[in-house]
């Protein structure tokens, strides 16, 4: 560890993938594909264009309208930034599944099985009450990250199985 407390290691932006320790960083499974990167870049460029247009339109406007413009730009910026972080991330300690509105974290020690289905990979994990919880991952056949890849789904599923088997 690097000597900092958990609160000091917390990222400035709460939804940014956090590092669990100084030596490890999270690995995204599957990596972003070209189709996802293209959409993310188009969304980012669209936001920049929108921001520039709205700021120019706001010149000389009353403060209430400027506050509305700022709120729209801030909200859309948060959406674009969150879209860049979506996915299933893993490291030696556990996993993080980031969806648009929620984040699910867990340790590999609590994962009982990795179910590789015909369409999606699901983690079977123990919850606090001792029951089994199914956690859907982003690894699925129709994922935009795997467009154009014949064996991408099976490769990503095998990677998740190997991460879980290390524990």
pLDDT by residue for the chain (167 residues), tens only, comes to 455 565 555 666 666 655 555 445 889 999 999 999 999 999 999 999 999 999 999 999 999 999 999 999 999 999 999 999 999 999 888 999 999 999 998 899 889 999 998 999 999 988 777 788 899 999 999 999 998 888 999 999 999 999 988 87
Angstrom CA distances, 79 to 55, 70, 99, 101, 120, stand at 19, 14, 12, 10, 25
Angstrom CA distances, 33 to 40, 88, 102, 147, stand at 11, 14, 22, 7
pLDDT given for residue 24 in this prediction:
59
Computed over its alpha carbons, how large is the radius of gyration of the chain? 19
CB atoms within 10 A of CB 1: 9
Sort residue 130 into left (φ over 0), alpha (ψ -120 to 50) or beta: left
Tokens describing residue 132: 């089994």
pLDDT, tens only, 17-52: 555 554 458 899 999 999 999 999 999 999 999 999
Q: For residues 145 and 28, what is the distance between their CA atoms, to the nearest angstrom?
A: 11
Q: For residues 122 and 133, what is the distance between their CA atoms, to the nearest angstrom?
A: 10
Question: Does residue 145 contact residue 30 with C-beta atoms inside 8 Å?
Answer: yes
């Amino acid at each position: 560890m690097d000597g900092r407390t958990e609160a000091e290691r917390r990222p400035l932006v709460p939804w940014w993938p956090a590092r669990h320790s100084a030596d490890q960083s999270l690995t995204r499974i599957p990596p972003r594909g070209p189709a996802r990167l293209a959409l993310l870049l188009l969304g980012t460029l669209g936001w920049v264009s929108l921001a520039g247009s709205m700021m120019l339109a706001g010149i000389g406007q009353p403060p209430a309208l400027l506050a509305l413009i700022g709120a729209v730009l801030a909200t859309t910026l948060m959406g674009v930034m969150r879209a860049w972080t979506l996915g299933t991330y893993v490291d030696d300690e556990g996993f993080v599944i980031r969806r648009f509105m929620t984040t699910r974290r867990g340790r590999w020690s609590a994962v009982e099985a990795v179910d590789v289905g015909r369409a999606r990979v699901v983690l079977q994990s123990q919850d606090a009450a001792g029951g089994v919880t199914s956690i859907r991952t982003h690894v699925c056949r129709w994922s935009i990250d795997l467009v154009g890849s014949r064996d991408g789904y099976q490769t990503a599923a095998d990677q998740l199985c190997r991460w879980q088997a290390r524990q």
